[in-house]
Amino acid sequence: MHELSITEQIASIAIRHGEENEAEKITDLYLVIGELSTVIDESVQFYWDLITEDTICSGANLHFKRIPAKFHCLDCDKEYQMIDGELTPCPFCQSTKMNILQGKEFHLDSINII
Amino acid sequence: MTKNISVVEKVHSANDQLATENKLQLDQANLFSLNIMASPGAGKTSLIEGTLPLIKSDYKIAAIDGDVATSIDADRAAEAGATAVQINTGGQCHIDAHMLRNALKELDLDEFDLLLVENVGNLICPASFKLGTDKNVLIASIPEGDDKPYKYPAMYQDVDALIINKIDLLPYVKFDMDYFKKGVQMLNPDLITFPVSCTSGEGIDNWVNWVVDHIKEKKTS
């Protein structure tokens, strides 16, 4: 249910950048979401249509780019990805010591305006 | 004609900015602050009730309690000896930095040594909204099961201390501590952990020592 606040934040960032660039309308938003971020695309889309009515974002398309979670094993120095959204020890040496290299992203990358 | 504008801005940037401002206010008052997060029923209020009697004669404590509705938790914190402020989030599943900022206005921060922010019971949303507190604390409890780090990785990743509550129930519940700890280690390898029972009081002293050390450190910073 935090998607409501999140969607409001996305709209506010987009509108600010749109206005700075004298946009008549924002047609597309490109969002980057890491696999470890707990954000559900469908919920954002659902709130989006409600929140942006009567704004320059009204009717804009949301594009979600999902970044897979990637880890670096501190014991064997290899890199590996999360499989099926499940957290597992290193598949090469079974170590549980790792750094998270990517997957926590959550930002608005760019917008299309007219 | 369509034009692409590069934005590259974190979705949480507005909240993060307010969190930074909250942090500044708390730092100026040398007030040590904790954001306590957990699922409903894990023992957030019980932990506060267990902690306060051990330190309230030495330190002045404020508690900010976030709930979707009612002031039950704030009442319990006040009963235990804290100056309590209730935030009713009106349906929101978490406290955000803006709500905390408003609640801070109701307190004379210079008067206090410790601020406990009791977040809304939820393992998903509070993880995304920084508040500006010194430390983020997560309470896991034995009856919730040993798979929570695997199911709620975002929550376990960014906390500074983990309390494992209701350890008195270990003999009665299926809970594989090794499996649980393995999940925690993958997400947050150096996380300091306090196994406690708020009911029997077991382990609370270790937790309280950690809190007191940080209060003192912040006083002299």
Q: In angstroms, rounded to a whole number, what is the distance separating the alpha carbons of residues B186 and B13?
A: 27
Domains in chain A, CATH or no CATH each: 3-113 (3.30.2320.80)
Q: Do A36 and B154 touch (CB under 8 A)?
A: yes
The string of pLDDT tens digits covering residues A29-71 is: 999 999 888 777 888 988 999 999 999 999 999 999 999 999 9
Domain membership of residue B122 (yes or no) is yes
Q: What is the pTM of this model?
A: 0.89
The verdict on residue B81 lying in a domain is yes
Kindly report, residue by residue over B71-122, the tens digit of the pLDDT.
888 899 999 999 999 998 877 888 999 999 999 999 999 999 999 999 999 9
Q: Residues of A at the B interface (Cβ-Cβ below 8 Å)? A: 1-2, 4-6, 9-10, 12-14, 17-18, 21, 23, 27, 31, 36-38, 74, 86-87, 89, 96-98, 100, 104, 106-114
Interface membership of B7 toward A (CB under 8 Å): yes
Range(s) of the domain holding residue B126: 13-219
Examine the pLDDT at A2 and tell me if it is beyond 80. no
pLDDT in the model for residue B159: 95
Lowest mean pLDDT across A15-24, A25-34, B36-45, B118-127? B118-127
Residue B2 lies in a domain: no
Tell me whether residue B111 is in a domain.
yes
Q: What is the rounded CA–CA span in Å between residue B221 and residue B217?
A: 6
Which residues, 6 or more positions from A101, have their beta carbon under 8 angstroms from its beta carbon?
Answer: A70, A71, A72, A79
Q: How far apart are CA A49 and CA B203, in angstroms?
A: 50
Do A44 and A7 contact (CB within 8 A), yes or no?
A: yes
pLDDT at position A1: 57
| Residue bearing the bigger pLDDT, B55 or B69 | B55
Q: Contact A104/B94, CB-based, under 8 Å?
A: no
Would you say residue B8 lies in a domain?
no
Average pLDDT over residues B132-145: 97
pLDDT tens across B177-187, in order? Answer: 999 999 999 88
Q: Is residue B1, in this structure, part of any structural domain at all?
A: no
- Mean pLDDT, to the nearest integer, of A9-31? 96
Q: Is the pLDDT of residue B127 over 90?
A: no
SS3 B5: strand
Closest Cβ–Cβ partner in B7, B154, B186 for A98: B186
Confidence of residue B1 (pLDDT cuts 50, 70, 90): confident
Domain count, chain B: 1
- pLDDT above 70 covers a percentage of chain B that reads 100
The per-residue pLDDT for A63 is 96
Long-range contacts of B64-68 (CB under 8 A, 24+ apart): B64/B95, B64/B100, B64/B103, B64/B104, B64/B115, B64/B116, B64/B117, B64/B118, B65/B118, B66/B94, B66/B95, B66/B99, B66/B117, B66/B118, B66/B119, B66/B120, B67/B120, B68/B92, B68/B93, B68/B120
Which pLDDT band holds residue B194 (cuts at 50, 70, 90)? very high
Q: Which of B4, B94, B149 sits opposite A2 (nearest CB)?
A: B94
Task: Assign residue B213 the CATH number of its domain.
Answer: 3.40.50.300
pLDDT at B61 > cutoff 70 = yes
Domain membership flag for residue B5: no
Position B6 in a domain: no
What interface predicted TM-score (ipTM) does this complex get? 0.86
